[in-house]
Amino acid sequence: MRDPANHALPSRPNTGAPRATRPRPQYAQRSLIIGLILSFVLIFWTVQLFILMTSLDAYLGHEHGLLWPAALSSLLLAALTLVLVRLIPKDPRRD
């Protein structure tokens, strides 16, 4: 007599190639990614400093129409910087 448990069809048959696992990035690759993130953070901070100097100059020159766009763009750059900094892993993996 046949055992019905051995002949049951799976709910989702495995057809096709098996899933490939992604290789873990090596130390050099991770340090390159972290270096790129930090370079973008440095660029964003430099642009924010330029926006601060421009908005202070506009404030002292009584050009108040420039202050709100400068504040909004500075907030956007601060948010982008925060997102990039949060991408940096806190504890590096040991290979």
Label residue 19 exposed, middle or buried (CB < 10 Å: 0-12, 13-18, 19+). exposed
Higher pLDDT, 71 or 25: 71
pLDDT above 70: percentage of residues in the chain: 73
Q: How far is CA 19 from CA 12, 16, 26, 33, in A?
A: 15, 9, 21, 26
Instruction: Report yes or no on whether pTM surpasses 0.85.
Output: no
Q: Mean pLDDT in the chain? A: 82
Residue type, 34: I
Read off the pLDDT of residues 68-93 as tens digits, 9 standing for 90 and up.
Answer: 999 999 999 999 999 998 988 776 66
Residue type, 20: A
